[in-house]
Amino acid sequence: MIKILFVCHGNICRSPMAEFVMKKLVRDLRDSNLQVRDFEIASAATSTEEIGNPVYPPARRMLASHGIDCSGKTARQMTLADYNHYDYIVLMDQNNLRNLRWILPRDIYERELAQSRDAQESAQSRDGKVSLLMDWAGKSRDVADPWYTGDFEATWRDVNEGCKAMLKQILENC
């Protein structure tokens, strides 16, 4: 089983968008040895600010406009148990990486941080579990944050690009 956890600050915009986009991409797989049952995909926050809240309405509308239902999803915070459980911890931005210091033991955090600093290394070839979503698409930048810009279309484009690239690399390595 391939286990992926998408992480952002509040788990109400970017990471749930990535979760549900990746779930759709996996459901739509054709000509692959992998199927939906071979994946576990979820999302979480680095903060406690939005715990229990549903997906932010503009993010929910953006997903719905593309035929993706995210009903029932509520924000939760990432835990050390999540780090131990998931194969991939995929962050939306550098701030999420810094915020992991409050969740992970110091030695694990410092190892993941050091591995993420090598911008030339591809996301899928890292020894650690933690990566930035846009690294999978070969772009060293953050996923556009609609919380501050209101531009959910830019976030949609980034999330799709990153998820498609990540799934492609996973499939190539299976």
Residue-level length of the chain: 174
What is the maximal distance between C-alpha atoms in the chain? 43
Residue 70 bears catalytic tag: no
Cβ–Cβ < 8 Å for 58, 152: yes
pLDDT in the model for residue 35:
85
Q: Check if 14 is active-site.
A: yes
pTM of the predicted structure, to 2 decimals: 0.94
Q: What pLDDT is attached to residue 89?
A: 98
For the beta carbon of residue 135, count every other beta carbon within 10 angstroms: 22
Around Cβ 151, how many Cβ atoms within 10 Å? 13
- The boundaries of the domain holding residue 72 are 2-172
81: part of which helix (H) or strand (E)?
helix 80-85
Q: How high is the pLDDT of residue 114?
A: 87
pLDDT of residue 125: 52
Question: What is the distance between the alpha carbons of residues 46 and 9, in angstroms, rounded to a whole number?
Answer: 5
Low-confidence ranges of the chain (pLDDT < 70): 117-127
pLDDT of residue 119: 44
- Rounded Cα gap, residues 116 and 127, in angstroms: 10
Among residues 56, 57, 66, which one has the least CA distance to residue 21? 66
Number of domains in the chain: 1
Q: Is 145 a catalytic residue?
A: yes
Residue 30 belongs to a domain with what CATH number? 3.40.50.2300
Q: What is the pLDDT of residue 120?
A: 41
Q: Which has the closest alpha carbon to 24: 2, 41, 38?
A: 41
Which residue among the candidates 8, 13, 70, 163 is catalytic per the annotation?
Answer: 8
Amino acid identity, position 34: L
- Contact call for residues 161 and 169 (beta carbons, < 8 A): no
Single out the catalytic residue among 93, 135, 145, 158.
145
As to burial, measured by CB atoms within 10 angstroms (0-12 exposed, 13-18 middle, 19+ buried), residue 171 is middle
The predicted structure's pLDDT at residue 122: 54
pLDDT of 96 reads: 97
